[in-house]
Amino acid sequence: MTILEARDRAGTFVPHAFDEQLADLGEIRMNYATAGSPDLPALLLVPGQTESWWGYELAMPMLAEHFQVFAVDLRGQGRSTWTPGRYTLDNMGNDLSRFIDLVIGRPVTVSGNSSGGVLAAWLSAYGKPGQVSGAVLEDPPLFACELHPSCGQSIREGLGPVFAMWTKWLGDQWSIGDWNGMQAAAPSELPRWMMAAMIGMRLGEGPGSDGVPQNMKEYDPEWARAFYSGMATESCDMAAMLASVRTPVLFTHHFRAVDGDTGAILGAIADEQADRARELIAGAGQPCAYVSLPQMAHAMHRHDPALFTTTVTEWALKGE
């Protein structure tokens, strides 16, 4: 299968408040937007699954008072290249490492939400020496995004049923694309606990005029299959990664619960998994600040951009 560039999907996109640019990283071209003065410390924002850079659009003006902000689209999302068969954490982490070298060109604080938070941890552990000064993990599914985790529930005991549904009804690269059929089937195909989790996490954006949210239009559903099948995480063991972290970490932990009937996670990461992640980071000799926000939606940067800005800024610029 061939890669798909933004020009192949030109009719998909809508204008935003910040100008967009493309960085040629080799295998992919990564789309990004910037805000803030280059005289300020650098901050890299990494969105989660199904989110494009503009999920940070409300937070960016506030963050730009303190940082030069770089918000990116990961491969397979937004205007960045779609790469069938190549959606792995290691590939995405290396994309970001190249981006830091080629575009930012100086040490950076990395803040990622959801799978973007896992990638922030990846960069802290496996990025080039000196690239990353700190990592903000915004409600990351550590362990919970793996097929066979060493701690707690697996991807299939969390959001996996949603990913399976996207795979079935949308298909890789939207090759099926039956959004209306999926919406109609969801109440019967998703377990009751999953419907509760989606309400509590407040995932996604509102529907567009055709019923499909804009963020989903910009997303390759093969991402979902890659995580549900275990392909995305197969070469990136969470415990080994966290034991290799080399920078200070801020971990924000949002809505979560465990379904009493099935033991499944309602939320991104269970308390047991968060505790284990913090132990491994501490064992690597790095400080891990932990902020528990059990009433917060999965993407704090969208639902409360002011609190997100304050939380990141106070931690990242402490002592400056």
Residue 194: the pLDDT is 79
Residue 2: the pLDDT is 79
- Which band of pLDDT confidence, cut at 50, 70 and 90, is reported for residue 320? low
pLDDT in tens, 204-226: 566 665 789 999 999 999 999 99
Residue 203: the pLDDT is 55
pTM of the model: 0.96
Q: What is the largest CA-CA distance in the chain?
A: 53
Summary mean pLDDT of the chain: 94
Residue 191: the pLDDT is 85
Q: What's the one-letter identity of residue 76?
A: G
Classify domain 6-316 at the CATH superfamily level: Alpha/Beta hydrolase fold, catalytic domain (3.40.50.1820)
Encoded tokens for 48? 């989660």
pLDDT in tens, 234-265: 999 999 999 999 999 999 999 999 999 899 99
